[in-house]
Amino acid sequence: MSDGRVKTGSATWKAFVLTPVLLPWLLFAAPDPLPAASDLWIENGSTLAAPTELRQLSDALSKLVEGLRPSVVQVGIIDKRDIEQELPPGHPEIPDERPRVGSGFIIHPDGYVVTNQHVVARSNRVEVELFGGEKAVATVVGRDARTDLALLKIDPPRPLTALPLGDSDALKVGELVLAIGNPFGLDYSVTMGVVSRKGRAFGAGGPYDEYIQTDAAINPGNSGGPLLNLRGEVIGINTATLPTRRVGFAIPINLAKTLLPELKELGKIRWGFLGVSIQELTPALSQALGVDGRKGALVSSVLPGQPAEEAGLRPGDIIVEFDAMTIADVRDLQRKVGRTPIGKTSSIKILRRGKEEEFSIRVGEYADRTVAAAAEPSKKDLGLTVETLDQGKAKEFKLKEERGLVVTEVAKNGPAAHAGLRPGDLIKEVNQQPVSSIEEYRRLLSESIKGDIDLFLIKRGDLVLYVAVRSKG
């Protein structure tokens, strides 16, 4: 009679012991072996492979980027109290950058780094992080808010590789470009696109903002990083983007090359300065002034004690030449004067009441405290009420002056409104004649020799500008 034991070789096991051990294997059988990889996917090429040329381009781009990224850095502000931005006039809006990190790139192995001025804001010291992760405190060697450029200097913790600077004038619309930087704090990101346009300008006050426009993605954090051609040369400095649109803007590197030596030497850019407020000539203004064409820059005010006043310029003069160079418009004059050496005696040709006159003028130095902004051209085309200024009206319109004439009402959709006049505007001249009383105002309007168009010189805050108003009928 069996005792329920099973002998297997030298070991003896009770049969019931096998049951709990074997049962799980019986209920949950091991799966079959996984199918071979070749049963699910294809490896090592396909008949749909890109042409050899495209694959070569892809490999070449990867190799190029691999060599470029180590020369790009992160730039961060050490003192968050210095975060206030200073932008050149007309600069595209800068999106809020979170985290507060910008970009830059090495231009010299000694540790010189270029970035945007708005990235470093008012700080004198910023933190730079290199591609390998090393961090160094950088000194702001020089900055210029007008062009949004800043030059930094670090003590290199190791040998650095600088990026070569190219020729942005040779850049072609449609050319492929790369943008490298730290968008949204995502370090060393690369995007590719084409040059969409050259010479893109914003506003009337910034003569040096002729940006390179590109569809290469430029996002918050990219500011100050390089825009490169496929030769690995920096042809622009990424500075702005239009919010919600895939449009980016870069400062041409040729502009930076003209300014960097002066930033290194002086810590700032010394811009030439005449001491005038100027505005564009519109057809209505040209007609009111009795001049043909629209070339030149109209002087709307002359600052006291500045070069233009000393030279004899007056409001109403049209500057048509500077140093024997024809002046096309406001930007053209600003650009030519801006890069004229401080103290140089230049020639300036004007039209005054239709007659040419020439003066010598000693170029001064631009300073924020003395320069009046260039006026925006108005939409010119009389539905307005003009009253004698008194204490009550001065208080109502928050004016410093308490004498003169003030615009108190402007009819909606009337000629004055179309011309850009507003309640609170002070009227200084009518048809180039000083006016201080209602009687003078009415007389000058009735004696107008321009027919249906009258020229006003107004003061609005600190801005003085001409406005041409075309009456109905």
Q: Which residues are catalytic?
A: 118, 148, 223
Range 324-329 contact pairs with CB under 8 angstroms and sequence separation of 24 or more: 326/295, 327/295, 327/296, 327/297, 328/295, 328/296, 329/280, 329/281, 329/295, 329/296, 329/297
In whole angstroms, what separates CA 67 from the centre of its chain? 28
Q: How far apart are CA 351 and CA 374, in angstroms?
A: 19
Q: Cα 144–146–148 angle (5° rounding)?
A: 60
Q: How many helices (H) and strands (E) does the chain have?
A: 10, 28
* Whether the Cβ atoms of residue 406 and residue 390 lie closer than 8 Å to each other: no
Using DSSP's 3-state secondary structure scheme, residue 280 falls into strand
* Cβ pair 272, 337 in contact under 8 A: yes
CA distances from 346 to 189, 325, 356 (A): 48, 11, 17
Backbone angles phi, psi at 226, to 5 degrees: -85, 145
CB 200 within 8 A of CB 213: yes
Q: Do 97 and 59 contact (CB within 8 A), yes or no?
A: no
Q: Please report, for residues 250, 457, 459, the alpha-carbon distance to residue 463 in angstroms, rounded to integers and kept in the order given.
A: 30, 11, 6
Looking at residue 192, its amino acid is: M
Q: Which residues are CB-neighbours of 365 under 8 A, at least 6 positions away?
A: 270, 271, 272, 273, 342
Rg of the Cα atoms in the chain: 34
b/e per residue 352-372 (b: at least 16 CB within 10 A): eeeeeeebebebbebeeeebb
